Amino acid sequence: MDVSEMKNTVREFILAEFLPGESSANLKDDTPLRTSGVLDSMATLKLVSFVEDKFGIEVEAHEAGVENFDRISDIAALIASKKGA
């Protein structure tokens, strides 16, 4: 799976779970998720759990912060680095 597919998988999950009815065109790779309030701490935990299960990686507690989970592009970069892609 390439980075673009990772981004799309994460985007689809966020839209389905946290932004039902929202157009995928409105959720860009660099749209702030945590700092804009789209994701709260509970939603972030759910997203981290999804990422771990879906991509077969382990996200350490210190990696689940805003620096890695504020934008889809940041999340995909973390997944790629964990998978050695």
Burial class for 46, CB neighbours closer than 10 Å (0-12, 13-18, 19+) = middle
Q: How many CB atoms lie within 10 A of CB 84?
A: 5
Percent of the chain at pLDDT exceeding 70:
99
Q: What is the mean pLDDT of residues 59-75?
A: 96
Write out pLDDT tens, residues 30-59.
Answer: 999 999 999 999 999 999 999 999 999 999
pLDDT band at 63; cut points 50, 70, 90 = very high
- Mean pLDDT over 19-34 rounds to 95
For a pLDDT cut of 90, what percent of the chain falls above it? 96
Domain that holds residue 79: 3-83
Spatial CA neighbour of 66 closest among 27, 37, 35, 31: 35
pLDDT of residue 59: 97
Residue 26: CATH number of its domain: 1.10.1200.10
- pLDDT tier at 85, thresholds 50, 70, 90: low
Task: Work out how many domains the chain is built from and give that number.
Answer: 1
